[in-house]
Structure 1
Amino acid sequence: MTRLVLVGAPIAVVVSVLFSSGDAEPPQLVPQAAGPARTSQAPQPEAAEEAEENAAAIDALPPGLAAPRMKEIASRLVASADASTLDWRSQYGAIEDLGDGNGYTAGIIGFCSGTNDMLQLVEAYTGKHPDNPLARYLPALRAVDGSDSHEGLDPGFTAAWRKAAEDEAFRTAQDETRDRLYFEPAVRLAKMDGLGTLGQFIYYDAMVLHGPGVEENGFYGIRDAAMASADTAAEGGDEREYLDTFLDESRSVILARTVQRDTSRIDTAQRVFLRAGNLTLDTPLEWRVYGESFRIP
């Protein structure tokens, strides 16, 4: 059951600091990891409905991860885990089949041909820009949705994706679809749960990695399991204890997979920030993913 306490919720206030210009990474156009099936056709979870109903009150809270600088940090952290780079903008044109059962994985957040989010993205883009390289593949994307099939997509779809990624409008469409399906719901729900900026990022990364599913291996299932063991900050619980429990549940879901079972995005990244007590996700940040070291000064 979801309980909402907004008054006095311990939402972190963001400290604004300019980025250093020396942390750019060379582009890497092939993502190295992606989450499991992430259909957006699942029933709307009760918690998501509650967050939407209280959107005005939640959005009146300090911006936290939604502040432009913190959102940039979040994008870099996700890219380090999904593509081994901090240059997340280099990933607009990235596309490959990772062999995880989700078909093609592509773009800045790993939109998948088998999990509906890629279909939503291309439909939205085509609605505004009908004469684009991906428009002719919409019937095929609808047909393969929910599977790992490439039928109707090969051999030209990957080249069409890369061509479309040269268009600023398509890059904007990726940004907007990411925000609508993943970033905004995760941050809003984290605020409803009384979590600060680190907690908001942990929710966002889990939403991207596991998808917005209500099953035990989806984001909402993981949140339900965590809430069964620890109270959220909004419920009067200890924020660090709850986040530690949430990360345990997320980690267990990763380890239960048959592919992509690396847990370093939790073990040597998010857990490092949490154990340091960095609930506001202040820089400098140093972490490791897949054995690679990253730093945001």
Structure 2
Amino acid sequence: MERGRNDSMWMKCLGLVWFGAALVGCGSEGGDDASLERTRSELAACSYVITTNTYVGADWWGTLVFKNTGASSMTRPTISFGIPSGVTCDHDEAGWTHTQSGSTCIYSRTSDLTVASNASYTFYYSTNTNQSFTATNVTITDPNCGGTGPGPNPDPGTGMTANQKKVAEALTSIWENDTPVLAYAYAENIDDGRGYTNGRAGFCTGTGDAIQVIQCYNARRSAANGNVMAKYMAGLTTINNRYQSTGQNQASTSELDSVGNWVADWGTSYNNTTTRADFKACQDQVSDKLYYTPAMNEANKWGAKQALSKMALYDANINHGESGMKSLIRATNTALGNSGQVAPAVGYNGITESAWLQKFLEKRRDVLASDSTWLKAIDRVAAYEKQRRKGNWDLSAPLRNDVRARDCWSTSYPFSGYTVRQINADGTWSTPTSTTFSCQ
């Protein structure tokens, strides 16, 4: 069954405000001094020499070259370095993933990499500044040369591991596009009163979030350097000024249509291999700022430590918006006897995380079931309930969306019709040849 964003993305009501002509920059996730010191203490020095350390602002591109002068090969290096205050690292080369704590960027491998003794390795990165600088306090660690580097799990309450996040995003992508592949090139006017709906998270031109992607993209790449979206900025600003002044979602796209083909240009920005990395990075940044980070903050506040709970909150934020997610949390707490909204809720009066997640999913199920259109997406909630019953709390076991709401609860809910996929613990996926629907 072919599915698109029109069955669920419009449900969320974004509380974004664009103040006049002041453009909100791309988000960054900082850290406090304690977390930064903790990160530094985990890093132990290898024997190496930095032979190149440049960041060319005009190219938005940094280069670090190091030579392994130790006796042993490096097999999974971690690279940590300082950048100017207020700057954000925003690009992962293949095989790398990163976190940021304050002004320190920490890149770790997602797969093994061998840097033999006396061999050199060239590492690339990018940030959101066009000002040249030299990275400070460059530190390289590796399991083979002392120090283990950051562990595979984040600090309690801070978020999910890179692979857990891939699983969460892939599952949500099934609900939005019937495939685990994030739809960066997607753009369509689905006639929901929000203008064009775009990209991996359904950024809308009429609700204050698509403009954040384009503002970020403009900061990284000019029209002369291949940015075909730059010409829409004036129209987007006009739409957002109207959105801000009225408080109403904006359906009009005339300000965009008068200067170009928005749908084609959005798709080209991702499909063009020259501009893809920048366009993808901006979508990732804005998605994290609006959806992932707020969901992780709520998980931390209410004591939901497990990746499965965090994944369920992330999907609720994408589906219902931040205010809708918080409303579901309040209803969950009240139903469990925590009407005073005491935080953390998990552990309060004996509330377990399993009981809290179960009630949260039931409340979300009821919200979807209460509307004839929302009801069409009700099976997405059952997928998280199935994993709760299976005890797949850390998402280490492969998961399938081979479950319907009617399989988990006694009511005869309609079948949503999502194609069944299997998502593995590392985020890879496949389409099973056979399916048996069950909540166990």
- Could you state the TM-score of these two structures normalised by the residue count of structure 1? 0.75
The correspondence for 1:161, drawn from 257, 262, 266, is 266
- The aligned runs of 1:1-297 (5 Å cut-off) are 31=5, 33-34=8-9, 35-41=11-17, 61-62=155-156, 66-88=160-182, 91-131=183-223, 132-145=227-240, 146-154=249-257, 156-165=261-270, 166=272, 167=275, 168-195=277-304, 196-213=306-323, 218-230=324-336, 232-235=345-348, 236-257=350-371, 259-261=373-375, 262-267=377-382, 269-288=383-402, 290-297=417-424
Measure how far apart 1:257 and its partner are: 4.2
Give, in whole Å, the separation in 2 of the partners of 1:258 and 1:55.
49
> What is the root-mean-square deviation of aligned Cα atoms in Å?
2.8
Task: Decide whether aligned partners of structure 1 residues 222 and 143 sit closer, same or farther in structure 2, where only a CA change above 3 A counts.
Answer: farther
Give, in whole Å, the separation in 2 of the partners of 1:198 and 1:153.
40
- Paired residues in the alignment total 253
- Could you state the TM-score of these two structures normalised by the residue count of structure 2? 0.52
Give, in whole Å, the separation in 2 of the partners of 1:286 and 1:263.
16
AA partner of residue 241 (structure 1): A
Superposed CA deviations along residues 218-274 of structure 1, whole A, max 9, x for unmatched, are: 22122122122225315341212211221122223333446343211102x111112
> Which one scores higher on RCO, CA 8 angstroms, separation ≥ 6?
1
Measure how far apart 1:56 and its partner are: 6.2
Larger Rg: 2
The match for 1:20 is none
Q: Which has the higher strand share?
A: 2
- Structure 2 regions of 5+ residues with no counterpart? 19-29, 36-100, 102-153, 241-248, 339-344, 403-415, 425-440
Give, in whole Å, the separation in 1 of the partners of 2:3 and 2:235.
24
SS at match of 2:285: helix
Measure how far apart 1:127 and its partner are: 2.4
Q: Which has the higher helix share?
A: 1
Superposed CA deviations along residues 158-193 of structure 1, whole A, max 9, x for unmatched, are: 111112223210111111111111112212321332
Task: Decide whether aligned partners of structure 1 residues 36 and 102 sit closer, same or farther in structure 2, where only a CA change above 3 A counts.
Answer: farther
Task: Decide whether aligned partners of structure 1 residues 151 and 189 sit closer, same or farther in structure 2, where only a CA change above 3 A counts.
Answer: same
Contact 2:158 2:297 in 1 (8 A): no
Superposed CA deviations along residues 125-165 of structure 1, whole A, max 9, x for unmatched, are: 21232322112212222333421222212261111111222
Identity of aligned residues (%): 26
AA partner of residue 164 (structure 1): S
Give, in whole Å, the separation in 1 of the partners of 2:3 and 2:365.
27
Task: Decide whether aligned partners of structure 1 residues 250 and 140 sit closer, same or farther in structure 2, where only a CA change above 3 A counts.
Answer: farther
